[in-house]
Chains A and B, each alone.
Chain A
Amino acid sequence: MRYTLTLLAALPALILSAATLAQADDDVITLGASVQQTGQQANTGRYYADAYKLAIDTINAKGGVKVGDKSYKLALKLYDNQSDVNLSVRQYVQLITADKVNYLLGPFASNYALDDSSVAEKYQIPMVQGGGASGQIYARGYKYVFGTLPPAEDYYASTIDMMGKLDPKPANVALISADDSFDVSVAKGTREHLKSAGLNIVVDEKFAENNADFASILSLVKSKTPDVILWSGHETEALNFIRQMKSLDVNPKGFYAFTVGVPTADFRKALGNDANYAFGMTTWLPTDKLPDQWFGNAADFAKVYKEKFGYDPDYHAASAVADVETYAVSLAKAGSLEPPKVRDAIAAIEFDSLYAHIKYGENGQIVLPQVVVQIQNNELMPVYSTDFLNKPQYPVPAWGERK
């Protein structure tokens, strides 16, 4: 029993030592983040860790940030949350209270951003996060939380907008979505967009996540002969859906579109010629049409990123860079390091970045149209954002009529 006592007595000491201390230099502004560098979400988490580092290094190389009359360098305090939500919450508290970072950057994924942004709001430290798209993050009336991913509810907004300008104009839509949190939100928002655009929903079906068999949904679709299929789910399911569309010879009169998959090279590789004509969407393409104060443009950024880390950036990385740049721009505007003033500056700024034109909405979430893309002759083509960028191949030919 004496040993149990010793152990019990040692506990406060253990707890004490769990808190580490860090010191801040007075000409350095530290941004803090806890990101998934190991564990289940590490594959996407790495975009955030790498992009934060690259953005901060690049901004420092170009002279840092000028606030008032004084120049500051940016620094990054990064923790690995090991894909554990509860640990990430504790690490954000640690960043604010023990490490005394100036401002916060976000983790990856909506469920993390939901919990971690509550910490930012509790301590009234701004958090700009590019990893969570759920509208729930911004539905809570928080003042200190900003985000650079557009709401899931609006993913199909630009596609539906485009439908109004196509000839012949589609009228009947089949909506098919997975039953996880993100895709349920996509479907919910899409339903509202379709209704206000005056389009009919003739099929509205949900499928279980990680499902591989779409036969029953596809035969229902076939019997209702919709003009358009709007599909929302994950990449592997999208591949299965297209393969089964072909084998069951399901041909919507207009086109079919997916939330994920279409922009990736793997998608085209896996499907070969069957990938052609598929519509999709992305918030970001590495083009030279997106100018950036620090990187030149998005294409230059993609090149530097690939050289440094050995893999191509995607919209996660671009969105993470935009988060860091948001601080650089708004700190200069605020002329002060006081969190409330910086917060007000973030809410008011507007600037061009390699990710997009950055401007935060009333609730803190960016307003950003998805770019509609289509695979044309095995090439990914941007088709539409607020107007046509390239001519879409429309209507899509039936499977039997393709060369």
Chain B
Amino acid sequence: MRPRFVILLVAVTALLAIVPIVGSPVMVQFGISTLLFAVLAQSWNIIGGFTGYPSFGNSVFYGLGVYGTAIAMAKFSLPFGVGLVCGAILAMLCALLIGLPVLRLRGQYFAIATLGLSVAMAAVFSNIEIAGANIGLILPLTRADGMFYELSLGLLVACVLCVFWISRSRFGMGLIAIREDEHAAASMGVNTTLYKTMALVLSALFTSIAGGIHAYFITFVDPASAFDSTLNVRMVIMTVFGGPGTVLGPVVGAFVLSAVYELLANWISTAAALLFGVVIVVAVIFMPRGIADLAAGIRRQGISYLLQNIRRYRL
């Protein structure tokens, strides 16, 4: 990585960090949700992008983070930080427990099995008394949107650094090997079960902390919003849009798509959902491997990169 690029990244992060001081409250609101989406996309990238396991269970980890934090704070009056740790532990344990049996499945079977989990988990939490059952839990109101923003930004930086480490480490190479050919990876001495479970647990860690921050920020949690499977779909879309298996792709994907969604929603509200869909379809046709690949491809081949994509994938 060139030093110029590192300096630019640091500058962008610094710029983002001062948004609460110089920006309007609307920007801070938008920033919080966008940064959290970027964390979710980046976490999904670990299991979905690097390891090649399309998880639809990440909304379970998100929900556990939400509820871990909410129960600790609302029922036991514990501080926010302790709540986040509770949520993270809960989610990582869950990842460990479900990872061992479910990670034996491949491809669409893995996707279906994990998809069932979030529905099941919502049903479980609607019947747990300590989680407020179906009525939900209320968290204390804090007038500190700046803090939520900086926390989200900090979490995103940590998550990106972690993925950067993965992309250069033996562990990451193992994950990529599993994605490309799991049998070959195993025969080369990669402990596939350990690697896959580790990837899922790491993914659960960041996802659940994002959930915990969002719970305290929004002050109310219920099973429907905590275990929302459309959230998982958005993680996948953002990652794929940005470039799965790359370090910055999911972050850029989350930022760009959040901005597009927000602009469409506020300016042309009725057709927003439709246009958002069009953006995704066009993106999949012209840059099926994400923005990260687009950037490299255009530099290499210019505009013909887009056409070549269509030919290559026989659209």
Contact = CB atoms under 8 A, between A and B. Distances in A.
A179 B270 contact: no
Given A98-B26, A121-B141, A82 B291 contact: no
A93 interface: yes
Interface string B183-198: 0000000000000000
Given A38-B269, A122-B143, A4 B138 contact: no
Contacts of A14: 255-256, 259, 263
Interface string B270-282: 1011000000000
Interface string A166-193: 0000000000000111001100000000
B218 interface: yes
A2 interface: yes
Given A89-B29, A118-B219, A185-B135, A1 B295 contact: yes
Nearest to B228: A85
A38 B259 CA distance: 20
Interface size, A (range): 35 or more
B269 A82 contact: yes
B24 A8 contact: no
Interface residues of B, number: 52
B248 interface: yes
Contacts of A184: 133-135
A8 B252 contact: yes
A90 B33 contact: yes
A181 B134 contact: yes
A118 B220 contact: yes
Contacts of A61: none
Contact of B218 (A39, A89, A179): A89
Nearest to A6: B295
Contacts of B126: 179
Nearest to B142: A122
A81 to B, nearest CB: 8
A102 to B, nearest CB: 17
Contacts of A16: 23, 27
Interface of A: 1-5, 7-9, 11-12, 14-20, 37-39, 79-80, 82, 84-87, 89-91, 93-94, 96-98, 111, 114-115, 118, 121-122, 134, 136, 139-140, 142, 179-181, 184-185
8 contacts: A79-B269, A90-B29, A90-B30, A90-B33, A93-B26, A114-B220, A136-B136, A179-B134
Given A91-B266, A111-B222, A184-B135, 18 more contacts: A1-B299, A2-B299, A7-B256, A12-B19, A15-B34, A19-B24, A19-B26, A38-B269, A80-B265, A80-B269, A82-B265, A94-B29, A97-B25, A114-B136, A118-B218, A122-B145, A136-B136, A184-B134
Interface of B: 5, 8-9, 12, 15-16, 19, 23-27, 29-31, 33-34, 126, 133-136, 138, 141, 143, 145, 218-220, 222, 224-225, 248, 252, 255-256, 259, 262-263, 265-266, 269-270, 272-273, 291-292, 294-296, 298-299
